[in-house]
Amino acid sequence: MADMSKVKEHMEVLASDGRKIGIVDHMDGPDWIRLARQSSGHGHHHMIPSEWVDHIDTHVHLNQTSDYVADHWEHGH
């Protein structure tokens, strides 16, 4: 599992197919990344579970495709 302490605000989140999913707003507890509302283009926050994170460098890289993420992410408030 990736070191979630490396996740920082404003990092880009990339799916395994290289597509940008959004931008980190903040960590919501130890197990969820909350994406910035405007970055996903849907007008509300989306939540990414930590188990989808493959690795973190200057971006958060997911182990799921963009299609999978769009079908399975959680909606925040």
What's the CATH number where 17 sits? 2.30.30.240
Residue 14, pLDDT > 80, answer yes
Residue numbers of the domain that contains 9? 4-75
6 close to 27: Cβ distance less than 8 angstroms = no
The C-alpha atoms of residue 33 and residue 51 are separated, in whole angstroms, by 10
pLDDT grade, residue 39 (50/70/90)? low
Strands 46-49 and 53-56, sheet pairing: unpaired
- Planar angle of CA 41, 26, 15, nearest 5 degrees: 55
Q: What is the mean pLDDT of the chain?
A: 90
Residue 23, pLDDT > 60, answer yes
pLDDT grade, residue 58 (50/70/90)? very high
Question: How many folded domains does the chain comprise?
Answer: 1
- Tell me what pLDDT residue 73 has: 87
The C-alpha atoms of residue 61 and residue 8 are separated, in whole angstroms, by 13
